[in-house]
Structures are given as structure tokens and as C-alpha cells.
Amino acid sequence: MKRLLTILTIISFLLTASASMNVLRAADGHSLWFYTAYPQYGIGYGTDDSVLPKTMQEVIDKEYDALQNSGDPLLKDAKLNLWRVFSEMITLGEEGYDIYNNNGTIQIEAATEKGLLYGIFAAGRLSATGKLPKKGETIQDKPICPLRILNHWDNLNGTIERGFAGRSIFWGKPIDDKTILEYARANASVGINGTVLNNVNSSPQMLSDENIKKAAHVAKILRPYGIKVYLSVNFASPKVLGGLPTADPLDPDVREWWKAKVKDIYEAIPDFGGFLVKANSEGQPGPGDYKRTHAQGANMLAEALDPYDGIVMWRAFVYAADSPDRANQAYDEFMPLDGQFRDNVIVQIKNGPIDFQPREPVSPLFFGLKKTKMMPEFQVTQEYTGESIHTCHLASMWREFFDDIQYGGASIKYPAIAGVANIGDSPTWCGSDMTQVNWYAFGRMAWNPTLSPKQIAEEWLMQTFSTDRGFVKPMTKVLCESREAVVNYMMPIGLHHIFAGNHHYGPEPWYAPRGVRSDWTPPYYHKAAADGMGFDRTATGSDNLAQYPEPIRTKYATAEQYLVYFHHAPWSEVWPLLCSHYDKGVKQAEGFARTWTEMERYVDAERFAAQKRKFDRQAMDAWWWRDACLLYFQTFSNMPFPKGSPAPRFRLDDLQHYTLRMDNYTAADIDRLPVPRQ
């Protein structure tokens, strides 16, 4: 009898555990941050997925149904009111909303349908995170930045430049309406209201009739979610596509060609947003080919778009070959043009003056331009921060950007903010589950740049994985430390651009083959020599510091985190700091892997296993970065590793003869690596 009772007790326990485990629904990451928010709803529209919403009101109705099915008793009786004449609502603008707890019933109110839609998504987010207003309380919100735009670097053949999540969802194959619908909903849920469908390295064929028709089809699906479509254009399109002998922006025929093309686009896409342009940069054609300025080129396009309220986003990412200091060039080239751009031109400036590095100072253009509209450009896809393998919560990078902007005396209220998308056709959308956080974070911070990385991390984790504090607390810590860890084990104390030559995943501080322009090689930036390391950007060097106003100039000049970015410092100062940061970065990455292992009971088996591989690889790669950089720089410093610093796991000659990269990564790749020393 005792044995039978024991068996029954075990069976009962197993059944209870099985029932509990059923809560952890199998997932491939495709649900994004709707996993816990709408457990009964999913990301599609029930059995009606094949029917696309025709109007925003249909979207509102469906999202309202989703709220009622969410399981939250407060939202089950939610009341939606569209008050177009109520003065309090009008003060919230076209996109703001009010969420009010009226004696236990949640009321969502807005002045427009778009605001109401954002309010519904906000209510779902607040429900999932347990932050709906209490009785008598009101939550009001509206975006600080009017235009919040994803930039897709997607090519017409379906490939994605710096894309680490498969192929394009727009180009290279027939458009899957359901995928675009899911994409639209995800963007709207975090406040993104615009998308550039193609690469800034644009093909003139983007403006062919066939491709405009495809863009119009995508625009039709996105429109009910309040999302406008934009296109990247090639400045030489009048020559290549139009057959004109020139693309000179002052040529009358060229101007007329653009006006006619813009007219065709608006006939196909009535709410078309405008153009994004990369010109005279990295081989792209531009007005400089005809001895014209960036302002003259941008203004020509702006003139064609102006009757339709379209805008031109003109990128300031320009640099010439073999210049004394690449960090100076955008400032030097655009400052003389301040005040010369038309009102519907926005100069799009990368957050830093180099190129989306794990850490770099704010671009000085944000402080210098006074009469020109500007917009920051962030990189959501992790080109320089571990691609789709390494976890790196970029909200802390963007928080640092906005904090420095304000510290330097400038405003963070920009007319637009752009983020280079990390989205592809992989099941997880972004190549891994953890890298989805940056898509979410970009939308939330573009809406409100004052949000903290911690708040964003908690929101995302609770909606994407689990609301259990046993999961949320430790994983929030991982996310909030992740970007600093990446800086530590990749490029601490101001090191920048020391990546491998033909990709940007692994380290190759030694890369300097003959025939390659110097500013595409790491030695141009780290300048390691017998006397020390670092790029002198003070008055005795390139004087890049002079482009910054006080007090940000002094902050940058004295900050340890920018030591070798602004100074050529002696090894006696640099070497101990390098070793300390690299060692810390390795420990952090290994700690992330251990923490994730402890999260197994909170996460479905599919996503747990997939992400465990990523964290394990990140920890291994951190060692690779640490050993490659320290062993290489030690050949210049000739200094021993400090006491307590672990011995290298790899040999420098092995590291220099094996390229660390993620392309076509499989389990067998680990076996092919040089064997660490025991």
C-alpha cells in the first residue's frame, strides 16, 4: 500500500508539473512581444488572416477584441471613445492618447483614430506588465518625435546589407501579405510610423514602374496601422533610368524628370512619405559629381516632393579616402551649408562621427548645425555589436546619446528619428530571440527618448517571455549590462573600428593589407606604436575636440571611456586599463550564459535551447576578442599581463590565421576553432 501511494504521489506530481509546463507554450520567436500580452490571440487575426484590414477602424476593432481576450479583467470591459472635439484630447495631438480607470473600467480616449490605436497597444503593454492605472488614475502619453522611421537596407534581389536575419520580407520574392500585416502590427505597437523599404545604397531600378507598384502594395497593408512608406533613391536615376545625359541637380530636364517621377509615385501611393538619400558617400553618386553642394542636391528633390508634403532625408555620412581624420569630415562638409536646406529637408546624421561603433561620442554636427533640421540615425541591426548572436541591449547606447546631447546644451526634440532595421524573414524576425529587444527599444525610445533602458528591458521581457520576477529581475540585469559588456570585450577605453577587414563580426586589429585605403584598416584608428596607442584628436592632432562646445568638450577630453579615441596615451596608462576591461568583459559574457541556464524553467524549451547556443557562443567570442586584442597590443607595449589577469586561451598566430565570423554558423564551427591552451 505504501508503495502504491508513493507511485500515485509521483504520478500526481508529474501531472501537475505537466499542466504547469503547458503554460510555457512552444514558440519559435515569431510572436515577438505579443507572447504574454495576448496569449489567446496570437499575432494573426484568428481564422481571418487572409482578409487584410481595409481601414484603421477595422484595425481598431480587431485590436479591441484582442484586449478583451487578453485575460485581464480590467480590459475585458474596456471602453473606447473617439472624441475629436474634446479639448483635452486635442492637446494630445494626432497620436496621443488617454487611458483612464473609471471605477474599475479602463477607458481609452484619443482625438484621432491613430491616437486611439496607439492607446489600445499601450493598454495591452500596461496590462502585460501590471501597470494599468488604478481607480481614478489617468495615463496620458504622446510622442516627442513626430516621425519614427525604420530604414531597411534591403536590396531588390532580396538580400539585406548588414542583415543577419535572413532575406528581405519586401523584395526578391512574392510579397507575403500576412507577414507584412504582422510587421505592421509590431511596428504600430511600439509607435513606429514610417518605413524605408530599400537600401540606402539604392539601385536606380527602385523607381521602375514595377517596383513602385510593389511598394504601393506594401503601403496598402501598412496604411491602416498609421505607417507611411518611404523609398531610398539613387541620385543618378535620371541618367540610368530616365536616359538623360546628366543628373546635375541644376539641370532643368533633371528637375522635371524628378517632378514627373514623384507625381507617378503619389498616384500609386497617395500618402507616400518621401525619399532617403545617400549621396557622394562610399562610391554613391551625388551632386558633388557635378560640383554642386549637398544642399543643392537635396533641395532639388525637396522641390519635387513639396507639393505633396513629402520630405527628403539626406544622409550626412560622408568621408573621403585617406583623410587626416574621418571623424572631422561630416562636420567640415555640412557646417558651411547650415541654413541652405529647404524646409522639407532633414539631414540624417549617424549618432556618432565614425560608424555605429559599440561606443563613440555624439556626432559634433548635432551641436554645430543651428539652422538646419536634423534627425539621428541609429543602427538597430547589430553590425558592430555581435550581429544576431551577441545579446547587446542598444537602449543604453541610445540613452547615452540623448544624455550627451542634453549635456552639450542641444535639444532632443527632433522632427524625425531613424533606425536601421534588424528584420528579415527568419522565424524570429531578427535572427535570434534576444536581438528582438532592439527593434522594440528603438520604437519605444523614438516615441519617448527619456525612457530608461531598464524600463524598456522589463517591458520587453515581460511581454516576450515571462512575467515571473524570478525571470524578469535577473534577465533585466543581463540586458542592462550587455552593451557595456560588449564594449569591454570588444573595444574599451575609446578603441574603435578594429574589426576584421571583410566583415564586422570578429577582431583583426592587425588588418592592413596593401592596396586598401587606410581608413578601412584598424591601424588608422588605434595607432598602436612603441610609445603608446590612440588617435590624437586634441589641438596637437586633428583637433576634432574643437568641434564640440563646452561642457561636452571637457567631458569627452577627460573621460576614461574615450581615452584612446581622443588621445595618444602611453602604455603605462593604457595597458592596465585594457587588461582590466577585457577581463571584465569576458566575465560578464560568461555570467550572461550562466544566468540564462538558470532561466530554463521560465522559458519554453524551443527558445531556451536556441538562445542558450547564442549565449554560449557570445562567451566564447568574448575570449576570442580579449586574446586577439591583448596579445596583439602586447607586441607594442611589451608589458606583462597584470597580476590576477588570466592567461590567454588562444595563441596570437592561431588568431591571426583564423577569421572569427558568424556566416553560416553551425555547431561544427566551434570544433574547427584553434584549440584553447589548457
Tell me the three state secondary structure of residue 66: helix
Residue for cell digits 598602436?
A: 528
Note whether 306 and 342 are within 8 A (CB): yes
Note whether 628 and 507 are within 8 A (CB): yes
Residue 642: closest CA among 591, 571, 566: 571
Which of 65, 267, 282, 322 is flagged as catalytic?
A: 282
Note whether 41 and 70 are within 8 A (CB): yes
Q: Is 383 a catalytic residue?
A: yes
Q: Which helix (H) or strand (E) holds 63?
A: helix 56-68
Q: Is 65 a catalytic residue?
A: no
Q: What are phi and psi of 521, to 5 degrees?
A: -125, 145
Note whether 674 and 660 are within 8 A (CB): no
Q: Which residues contact 614 (CB under 8 A, 6 or more apart)?
A: 389, 390, 391, 432, 434
Q: Which helix (H) or strand (E) holds 662?
A: none
Residue 188: is it exposed, middle or buried by C-beta count within 10 angstroms (0-12/13-18/19+)?
Answer: buried
Note whether 288 and 282 are within 8 A (CB): no
Residue 567: closest CA among 388, 361, 401, 409: 361
Q: In what order do the strands lie in the sheet with 138-141?
A: 79-82, 105-110, 97-102, 138-141
Q: Which residues contact 353 (CB under 8 A, 6 or more apart)?
A: 326, 327, 328, 330, 331, 360, 361, 363, 364, 365, 544
Q: Is 282 a catalytic residue?
A: yes
With helix as H, strand as E and coil as C, how does 301-369 read? HHHHHHHHCCEEEEECCCCCCCCCCHHHHHHHHHHHHCCCCCCCEEEEEECCCCCCCCCCCCCCHHHHC
Residue 156: is it exposed, middle or buried by C-beta count within 10 angstroms (0-12/13-18/19+)?
Answer: buried
Which of 72, 109, 182, 383 is flagged as catalytic?
A: 383
Residue 359: closest CA among 379, 374, 334, 388: 379
* Terminal-residue alpha carbon distance, the chain: 55
What are the beta bridge partners of residue 314?
A: 277, 347
Which of 355, 403, 543, 669 is flagged as catalytic?
A: 355
Give the active site residues: 282, 355, 383
